[in-house]
Structure 1
């Protein structure tokens, strides 16, 4: 069993990807294959200039990928930013124990090291994107098998306990001032459980799943593996994790007003998700993501 939730259960090598593509999609045999990176659930390869393929690294990721394959084609009429659309549907085989997906390539880079001015430009874009996504008809989402709150977002007390449990490992990497501010923030959370809210949500909207163009404006949303029907605060966390404080009012002016509980949960998730990324980055000795995760935590606390 994996020691950490981000540890792979099986290897997806360059040679294996080449073999799977040659066998299942021979029309791609002449295309180059380049490793782009990996998250907890999937490893990602660029195939030629037009496609990106995601391969599950863990068995738990398979139903998430299958849900994504069903719902993403249904969202084209309501998504207001470019997103990865599945067009190649790979099947499990003796060589590889999971289905896999090939998507249209969405141009852009991860939003690492952006200035506050650059971030602020994306406030109305992100707000309109989420306003449209959260208005998607739930009956249609449920008909495609989209699950309900599989990450138990409403359990604020349990998540708070997890955050406090992360602190001993994270504090030496955050520095005394930031670690102290983080601990004080966690102690101020008085909500034990959030009320039920239902909207179709991306479910994992942090900086590693967002792309920006060459001037730092949002140009795409990727990795929809955690798409579910759940509390919109999960996605609204970007108002705290991605945007500087000065542009949050403009974000909610476009998105619409939300209640105090939603703000509390959104900020908490904006802190929680980069804590997880920082934990993984420490184990991976990934200095770039350690820095970006730390900056995200500080911005969410501001």
Structure 2
């Protein structure tokens, strides 16, 4: 794809630059190896000595996100029932790299790519308890620490639907024809245009690239909290459709608590929309494994 994409970097952080920034600002880490882990939409990520992970914003928009993590994540500890990356090292911009950066505890694990259904089902109650506790965090405290309110407009079902239809109509985006038809049929039957707002603190971007699993498939941690915001719990509950097979969803919702049909509608929509974006980036960057998982997520989300 030759177009300008929202995941294109505005700043490149090489291994040499990352090492220089980390060693100069945190000399206690200078004996540890720095190795590149990869790029997300917003940050370039490096592991330091298998103990810490550093995230460097690669787009201007990511600066506010990483600053929010630094303020709010330390307050979430009593509410979180799964491991998460805890901010420890607050880096400052310099002449070589003008942006702040952040170092966290490192959580070992892999993205849940190709995970079998039985392993996904085994995590249903763990994920439900995790989200039930996260969504109980005091909204006012989150607001006082700068958490925005639905900054991505995820409750605008009509606008989200139109954007997804535009993606499908773009012949430069190489969706498989079966996926394209499946999504088109789903959107055609989606009659709701707006969801009534609700307010909880949510992770805000809970998908397979922000989840880590151990070799046995158990959830090892939740990462990348930069999109934390006050919004509708359905956005996080999308994990019931994107990660879990259909037979595990009822148990998930029972463990989480009462969930109305409008919330489930939003959850399923987000479970299709976000993987479409991930698929587009993965195809653009040549990451076939992630693209295959994103495609599988869409099919799983739309399975009854």
TM-score (normalised: structure 1): 0.97
Deviates more, 1:178-187 or 1:157-166: 178-187
Tell me if structure 1 keeps the 8 A contact 2:173–2:280. no
Task: State the partner residue of 1:162.
Answer: 163
Q: Secondary structure at the match of 2:83?
A: coil
Task: State the partner residue of 1:99.
Answer: 100
Q: How does 1:95-244 map to 2 (within 5 A)?
A: 95-169=96-170, 173-244=174-245
Find runs of 4+ consecutive structure 1 residues off by over 2 angstroms: 168-178
Note the residue ranges of structure 2 that are not aligned, 5 or more in a row. Answer: none
Q: How does 1:40-119 map to 2 (within 5 A)?
A: 40-119=41-120
Per-residue CA distance 1:218-254 (angstroms, 9 max, x = gap): 1100000100111111100000000000000010010
Per-residue CA distance 1:81-139 (angstroms, 9 max, x = gap): 00000000001111111100000011211100101111000000000000000010111
Distance 2:239 2:67 in 1: 26
Root mean square deviation of aligned Cα: 1.3
Q: CA deviation at 1:173?
A: 3.8
Task: State the partner residue of 2:276.
Answer: 275
Task: State the partner residue of 2:263.
Answer: 262
Deviates more, 1:88-97 or 1:168-177: 168-177
Task: State the partner residue of 2:250.
Answer: 249
Q: CA deviation at 1:177?
A: 2.5
TM-score (normalised: structure 2): 0.97
Distance 1:260 1:288, change over 3 A: same
Q: CA deviation at 1:285?
A: 1.5
Tell me if structure 1 keeps the 8 A contact 2:50–2:106. yes
Tell me if structure 2 keeps the 8 A contact 1:157–1:193. yes
Distance 1:64 1:221, change over 3 A: same
Q: CA deviation at 1:187?
A: 0.9
Q: CA deviation at 1:169?
A: 4.0
Note the residue ranges of structure 1 that are not aligned, 5 or more in a row. Answer: none
Deviates more, 1:37-46 or 1:168-177: 168-177
Q: CA deviation at 1:170?
A: 7.1
Tell me if structure 2 keeps the 8 A contact 1:271–1:296. yes
Distance 1:91 1:195, change over 3 A: same
Distance 1:32 1:65 in 2: 23
Tell me if structure 1 keeps the 8 A contact 2:139–2:201. yes
Tell me if structure 1 keeps the 8 A contact 2:128–2:253. yes
Distance 2:24 2:219 in 1: 36
Tell me if structure 2 keeps the 8 A contact 1:41–1:61. yes
Per-residue CA distance 1:128-153 (angstroms, 9 max, x = gap): 00000001011111111111111111
Q: Secondary structure at the match of 2:79?
A: coil
Aligned residues: 301
Q: CA deviation at 1:59?
A: 0.6
Q: Secondary structure at the match of 1:246?
A: helix
Q: Secondary structure at the match of 1:298?
A: helix
Q: Secondary structure at the match of 1:200?
A: strand
Q: CA deviation at 1:76?
A: 0.4
Tell me if structure 1 keeps the 8 A contact 2:15–2:36. yes
